[in-house]
Structure 1
């Protein structure tokens, strides 16, 4: 970092070509004073009556009045008294004046700039106020120009000068200019302050240069909790939770912000178990969680799909002073959690109890109803929102509404809603919304229409769009359209193995074993690893039990196998016949039956039947989409066992009850 280029002068030349005069404008001060006093005559002379009637005010009183200013007229009135009392050359007061003008959003040109230029002997704080003003208003080039003029006057900048410029560089993502100002801090001694160092870290993080951010951190002679927390949050955002956790453990004093950063980091990187562990440690350390940390805990519970944690999540929220009925962030998070834990009724209860609702509350509830197959209720809630409230739907809202239409096969209604988004509500069709439309048409078997939608998209399709089409080809066994979708996916996402597996499954369902072998050969050549299927259940003690394909290492594996075999016999009486097309392998029928019986959700079901009472709902979570055979198996199992089985895969929830599924076999 010490060898960074100091080509700041070239940047300043590019930013602003004209010279800045070190002498004030040739203006008659007395005349200017009269003009400003005239400007200070506002409609309400009693705004600051003590100024109007008091002949003389001390500098401290004038700066205090500037703090109270809420409009430009008030500032001009105070400024008039500044000039009248001879304080117009006071760097301290003029600096305060310019910062007040900046706070109120007054453009730097011409008023604040001219006020500064009239001061004959400008100090670094006055210069910094102007530099900061330009930076805050988004005029980085003029801020850089002012820095150059200050240096030409021989004025040495202060730490606030660099922090203002560095923040501006970070806000526009100008890494090159940020490096140049970083170099300037080394050329001028005494700028290794914690505040400047933290700002440098922020610049490099925002510009995506994590290596430089870490180097600044490592070279800082002194660090505070902000230094640590900022870098922890940035590794978390980059997905490097190992480094984030390592930094967190080294943090000498962990405050609420640091704990929140690490908890939410694990949540954002789909590591809910770790998030819960760190949240528990935070509680034990005596640190009271803030609203963001509580929402993070709730989101971790949602990812686990473990309703066992739901009551504790509510307890934590209430204990921390965040009642779901009064705090919309917590209420919305709980709606999402209950929905993803399979308890949509409780999600509805939370929604109805909320005193204040916003677009996130409605969107969470609409999506929750949609993923549980309650499409009509989701659409009714959307209609109520747009007709009976002032809340405007956003992209997430429409994702929920279109998902509801997709899962229920409501093609015409989905088309109408999609068409109304932009015209009626001003919501532009995004890639995610196009994905919903392709999924809607594809699930309904209208693959050519879905392909036509993609061809006419107003934005470039991403992997999600083509993936939705490929998934529909798997359902309807159409290898021709599947090849078109896969070709695009292999270009956009060449290393996402799920796309290859989907195409493989399409070929297998069509009996094209040569196609299956060609895809598997491609997977092997690329060295891609298949994501292992896993299903899990949470027992009454909150312990998670995971099941992998054919993995019979569970302590109860023998009993699980016996239970499955007995269950198959009972289902056969109802007409169950294994769907061998669900196995994408060119194997014998007996081998396919052996593979199917060891699917992870079936193992989880058998375990649950063994370990729960007959009046308990069985909740199973899976990381991949459930196959057709397992869907039929669960539906019939709910009839012969008399149990309610709630199954969440990576697409939606299925509620199996008395031999029927909430999806109506349309999924």
Structure 2
């Protein structure tokens, strides 16, 4: 028999009590849990509501503990069911919200107007279109269809599931539409790439709030229309950190990294404080630009913001940034200083060492990673390891690690792993073995792998295998002048000038033209790098030649 409590009454009691507010971490949850056990765990329903609310909603990262607690409650009321479903829907495993509802139905529990909103959110995250439609039917069956909160959830679900016609029908059936309703439908059209319809809805909104503005700007940023996004950005009466983050991330996504940095400068000038999302976008911009100086300043600002304690996500991004900017020493300093590391942390360090030629150090670090019980190498780890073996010319070790990946870690090789092995064998001059390896690949070799092998044939002067590699390469693509030049160089290296002429004729017949070589001198504009880090920045112009 399930005891029924109204959601509103339970919420009021939670507001009057301070028990859940004292739960700030897992330890305090366990202490309160222990005290309830002493007094009789199921004897105080009000305290149980607060404990479930704290563990499922209020305290971050304790949803699994909330499920353990919930399983011990003999008579959960509707508020408790809703709370555990809400927490599950927001978690990394929203599937549990649906299974909890099934359990609730089997035990005779009665849903209320909040229940299906949480379930529809879970289905949206899971992309479970059919299950969400089933819940739509249950909404009608239980008489909650006229509730505006539930209607908004239905619009949000159907718009995300791609059923824009259904979402629009629900929207059109509403007599009163809130700004949340308008924003949900606008976001749905925007996600499906229908920016014109989304903008029309946005313009028709009788009232716009900060969320609705952010929805439309996000649509433009993801659609690559940054100029229109910028125009809308300028019109906004009020901006928050999300607004700035969307603009910065949009520029980074579109490859306009300097504009992203300029946007951050503008953000700081108006007094808006960046958050973790902001800094991740900036680090990505610095990594892609290869600008070590600005990257260092971003890192310093991060340390100032976090008081020296970077999150795993930010730490990984800093390591990646320093590696791509050519400072593997600083990348390793950050790696060594991180108290918590995940597999991406190790991958960034191993990959950084390998790509910078510190091959023995990369292999040594991988050996340390293997000894860890809580970290398991993945497919990206082995790309770094195989690159290290290739650059070091250690064929035997490369073979062993390739087999280790398959046999011990059950990782299926992808095209990058195969490419590393072909590169390893090609660099070592084992061209026949490289061709045999490619014949046995379970994935069709792509143009990059054939180009790698063609390059190896040029280095080792093997005309016959070079011709074979070039033929396969031309079957995949015929418009890359560099592919012809490689084969031409193989002939030239052994003095077969007739072969060179044949390649030139083949290029002419295919309509391929070799692009002339050029050098680009890029003088950094340090005015851009004021970045609001220094009140009086020093200009350090540098010239770099890029071939």
How far off is 1:435 after superposition?
2.5
Structure 2 segments unaligned to the other structure (5+ residues): 4-32, 56-65, 89-95, 492-496, 530-539
Q: Does 1:487 align with 2:474?
A: yes
Provide the secondary structure at the position in 1 that maps to 2:467. Answer: helix
Aligned length: 479
Query: 1:382 Cα shift?
Result: 1.4
Q: Partner residue of 1:112?
A: 104
Deviations 1:423-449 (A, max 9, x none): 223333222222222332333344444
In structure 1, the partner of 2:294 is: 309
Query: Who is 2:482 aligned against?
Result: 502
Contact 1:326-1:356 at 8 Å conserved across structures: no
Deviations 1:517-539 (A, max 9, x none): 54356456xxx996985545666
Q: 1:356 aligns with which of 319, 340, 343?
A: 340
Contact 1:438 1:453 in 2 (8 A): yes
Among 244, 263, 279, which residue is 1:278 paired with?
263
Change (3 A) 1:503 1:462: closer
Q: What do the CA deviations read for 1:193-234 (whole angstroms, capped 9, x no partner)? A: 332344334444555555555554444444433334344445
Alpha-carbon separation, structure 2, partners of 1:205 and 1:446: 52
Partner secondary structure for residue 306 of structure 2: coil
Matched, 1:516 2:496: no
Residue by residue over 1:116-157, the C-alpha shift from the partner in whole angstroms, topping out at 9 and shown as x without a partner, is 7868xxx75566566567767775434323423544676543
Q: Match for residue 83 of structure 1? A: none
Whether the 8 Å CA contact 2:85–2:119 is kept in 1: the answer is no
Q: Which has the higher helix share?
A: 2
RMSD, aligned CA: 4.3
Alignment partner of 1:255 out of 240, 257, 261: 240
Provide TM-score, normalisation by structure 2. Answer: 0.72
Aligned position for 2:70: 72
**2:330 is the counterpart of 1:338:** no
Task: Give the 3 Å change call, closer, same or farther, for CA 118–241 of structure 1 in structure 2.
Answer: closer
Alignment partner, residue 141 of structure 1: 130
Unaligned runs of 5+ in 1: 1-31, 35-42, 80-93, 545-610, 613-617, 627-667
Deviation of residue 416 (structure 1)? 1.6
Say if 2:120 and 2:157, in contact at 8 Å, map to a contact too.
no
Greater relative contact order, per chain length (Cα 8 Å cut-off, separation 6+): 1
With over 3 angstroms needed to count, the CA separation of the structure-2 counterparts of 1:76 and 1:373, relative to structure 1, is: same
Matches of 2:119 and 2:341 in 1, distance apart? 42
Q: Deviations over 1:509-560 (max 9, x none)?
A: 1353443354356456xxx99698554566695889xxxxxxxxxxxxxxxx
In structure 2, what is the Cα distance between the partners aligned to 1:446 and 1:318? 48
Contact 1:470 1:502 in 2 (8 A): no
- SS of structure 1 residue aligned to 2:146: coil
Distance 1:523 1:365, change over 3 A: farther
- 2:414 counterpart of 1:425: no
Question: Which residue of 364, 377, 381 corresponds with 1:393?
Answer: 377
| C-alpha displacement of 1:288 | 1.5
SS, match of residue 356 in structure 1: coil
- C-alpha spacing 1:341/1:117, structure 2 compared with 1 (3 Å): closer
How many angstroms apart in 1 are the aligned matches of 2:332 and 2:115?
A: 57
Contact 1:335 1:365 in 2 (8 A): yes
Give 1:410's aligned residue.
Answer: 394
SS of 1:100's equivalent in the other structure is helix
Determine the C-alpha separation between the residues in 2 that align with 1:530 and 1:218: 48
